[in-house]
Amino acid sequence: MTPTGASPWRNKKLWSLAMGETLSWAGLFYVFPVLLLKWKVWFDWGIAELSIGFTLALIASAITGMIAGRIIDRGHSQRLMTFSVIMGALLLSLLPMVTMLWQFYLVWLLIGCCLAGCLYDPCFSYLTRTFQADAKNSIIMITLIAGFASTVSYPLCTLITDLYNWKITVYLLTVILCFIAAPLFWYGTSIQPASSQSLDKDSKISVMKTIKPALSSPVFWGLLTIFAAFSSNQGMIISQIFPLLESREISPGTTVLFASCIGPMQVIARLILFATESFGNRDIPIMAVCLTSLVCLCLSSLALVWGGTSLIIIVIFVIFQGGPYGLFSIVRPVITAEMLGRVNFGLLSSMVGIGSVWGAALAPGIAGSIADRWNYDAVLITTSSITAAGLIVLMVTSRLQKSNPFNIGPMK
């Protein structure tokens, strides 16, 4: 049992969990955009066709996410996260055997089911269940470390692929996920919650008693829409990051450098939030963080459209794109707990997270189609418009929360 008030930075199990998350994101998520152009050449399929595979993975993740959330609410996070990363790795190893497009789609569809059990959603649900109101610091710690996932994935996968080929890269990631990430998850999710009796009582609340109030709440739908705006923006950018940056007439090596900087920008933004709260000895309202993040995401896309091939503008784009989305990883579980409560949090988080996952799921295919039909300026205008819409919904949802708060049980 771990005291909820203890510093997460001194908890070896949280460090283990953070490293497991870093490797899982690097090996199961960021591997798609970094190998996208390699697959285009190898399979001779279009960017839009390949992007559908990623879309299917995220759709599968959304559908199976509620099952994963319920499993976590019942106290089986350890088995879920360990099994999910192992199965995801084994499925990833099947990609070199693919010869037809439908096989590529099937593999990524099944990988998507595994994503629902080992990425941020199940991790943060586990942390919220374990630490309750003190989960925020643990979530910040995990995101600070796992924010380097793209920084690990992009250069490593590019280097191995250039030295050998993309198949060797996939096999190496499989070994890393099975023999390093899985044991890290098993150890990292062995923390016992301090108030297990109250958690057992909450987990017995029926699914329908949780779902019905949520579906009838405008606050729930507002959050779902906001999360969809965040994720669709990032999904469109990240899934097309290499061809998008190359369209700015920069070299492949510089493209890898800028793409690899998005991860550190996420970490820097989280560090700024952490330092401001720690040294300022006060909590920054999560609504203010969310509002600022949406504004920056909107401006980042517009800056790249207006700036053309300017390297200074590209640097601004990387900062404004990476930083706010890094904060979103913290915003999402915290604002969900504040607005929807912590009773059956795993289920509620996965439900409202459907907006996030579906937004990210549809984003790669939409971005690929827009790029193929028009150009990447059109993609950037689309991402800016989406976040502007999310900004409006955020302000409306904030007012609705004050006048009609959501509640299915006592806050813990």
Residue 161 has pLDDT above 60, yes or no: yes
Answer yes or no: is 407 within a domain. no
Instruction: Give me the domain span that covers residue 361.
Output: 8-190+199-402
Answer yes or no: is 411 within a domain. no
In tens, the pLDDT along 300-344 reads: 999 888 877 788 888 999 999 989 988 988 889 989 988 888 888
Answer yes or no: is 410 within a domain. no
Answer yes or no: is 282 within a domain. yes
User: CATH number for the domain including 233?
Assistant: 1.20.1250.20
pLDDT at position 209: 75
pLDDT at position 132: 81
- Domain count of the fold of the chain: 1
Answer yes or no: is 2 within a domain. no
The structure's pTM equals: 0.80
User: What's the per-residue H, E or C state across the chain?
Assistant: CCCCCCCHHHCHHHHHHHHHHHHHHHHHHCHHHHHHHHHHHHHCCCHHHHHHHHHHHHHHHHHHHHHHHHHHHCCCHHHHHHHHHHHHHHHHCCHHHCCCHHHHHHHHHHHHHHHCCCCHHHHHHHHHHHHHHHHHHHHHHHHHHHCCHHHHHHHHHHHHHHHCCHHHHHHHHHHHHHHHHHHHHHHHCCCCCCCHHHHHHHHCCCHHHHHHHHHCCHHHHHHHHHHHHHHHHHHHHHHCHHHHHHCCCCCHHHHHHHHHHHHHHHHHHHHHHHHHHHHHCCCCCHHHHHHHHHHHHHHHHHHHHHHCCCHHHHHHHHHHHHHHHHHHHHHHHHHHHHHHCCCCHHHHHHHHHHHHHHHHHHHHHHHHHHHHHCCHHHHHHHHHHHHHHHHHHHHHHHHHHHHCCCCCCCCC
pLDDT at position 199: 53
